[in-house]
Amino acid sequence: MINIIGVLPDDTVETDVKVTEENLKRYKWYWVDFSDPSADEFRLLDSVFHFHPLAIEDCGILLQRPKLDYYDGYDFYVTHIAKQEAKEIIKEELDFFVGPNYIVTFHFEESKEVEQVWSRITNQAAIEKWDPYYIFYQTLDKLVDAYFPLIYTIEAKLDVIEDNRQNQSMDELMDELFDIRHMLLHIRQTVNPMRDLLYRMLNSQHLTEVKNRREYFSDIYDHLLKVSEMVSSNREITTDIRDNYLSMTSHQSNEVMKILTIITSIFTPLTLISGIYGMNFVNMPELEWRYSYYVVLTVMLIIGLSLFFWFKKKGWFD
């Protein structure tokens, strides 16, 4: 599907326009949005706009790394949108062709960011301040702002895991923790290349319109830096929580082993004594003694109690 906004020299906005070279020449500037285009619509990138074959090829290849390419008369940008579906972070690509009097957006999936800017410009009474690079800035700003709710959701989940008020098992908590680490990894793989793209834009000598709006694009870059720091911070938190749980598990295992060791240490000599008198040799004179049974039990009790109090003195029961 193709949507178009055309702005005439008198700042009148038209939306019901057929995409042809002759029609587009009438406008002071225009915005064409390719949303999940058909094969015939896809070919308009070449037949009407005459974009470079490599740029058109990049549009057809999904999930390239965010980048900036300079072409004669326009610039080509590849950006990434991050969305959450269940326990997965889904990346989608949004491409921009930005020239002095037009902007073309291209995406295969629905883009809320594009829809928000589109709705805003179509409902705007004063259109004088709008131009292709202002649309580019607005869309890019909303795209980056959409990263923050993902991070805030993850932080809330980490708080729940850390408190563990539902008394979940260790295995369940570790599964959730590794899911979160996986989500943070996907966000980092989206945010860091976008941060590098904005850095290149701000330091480029070719992008005059970006230099004229440097404070706006610098604000987007600052947001990307903040998101990147939040991702790194939350990954460190997941590492700390994981290490704490592993330490607790190791401590619990050590406590169990200590109890088993105490029990084994107490009963080993008692087992030895009972084993000796359970051999049933014929020549065992003390078996004939009247009080031998009580004496052996007393000796075993003394040995057991002595070991128990000795271990307690050593602090093994603390």
Angular region, 179: left φ>0, alpha ψ -120 to 50, beta rest: alpha
Instruction: Give the confidence band of 306 by pLDDT, cuts at 50, 70, 90.
Output: confident
Cα–Cα distance for residue pair 207/309, rounded to 1 Å: 82
Cα–Cα distance for residue pair 160/106, rounded to 1 Å: 39
Angular region, 315: left φ>0, alpha ψ -120 to 50, beta rest: left
In the CATH hierarchy, which fold is given to the domain comprising 257-314?
Answer: Methane Monooxygenase Hydroxylase; Chain G, domain 1 (1.20.58)
Is pLDDT above 80 for 154?
yes
Q: What's the pLDDT score for residue 224?
A: 92
Q: Is 129 helix (H, G, I), strand (E, B) or coil?
A: coil
Q: Which residue has the higher pLDDT, 221 or 12?
A: 221
Residue percentage of the chain with pLDDT more than 90:
14
Instruction: Give the confidence band of 254 by pLDDT, cuts at 50, 70, 90.
Output: confident
State pLDDT tens for residues 197-206.
Answer: 999 988 888 8
Q: What's the pLDDT score for residue 168?
A: 67
Q: What's the pLDDT score for residue 125?
A: 65
State pLDDT tens for residues 215-250.
Answer: 988 999 999 999 999 998 888 888 887 777 777 777
pLDDT, the chain, mean: 85
In terms of DSSP bridges, do strands 2-7 and 29-35 run parallel, antiparallel, or are they unpaired?
antiparallel
State pLDDT tens for residues 19-71.
Answer: 888 888 888 888 898 988 888 888 888 888 889 999 988 888 887 888 899 98
CATH superfamily of 2-248: CorA soluble domain-like (3.30.460.20)
Domain boundaries in the chain? 2-248, 257-314
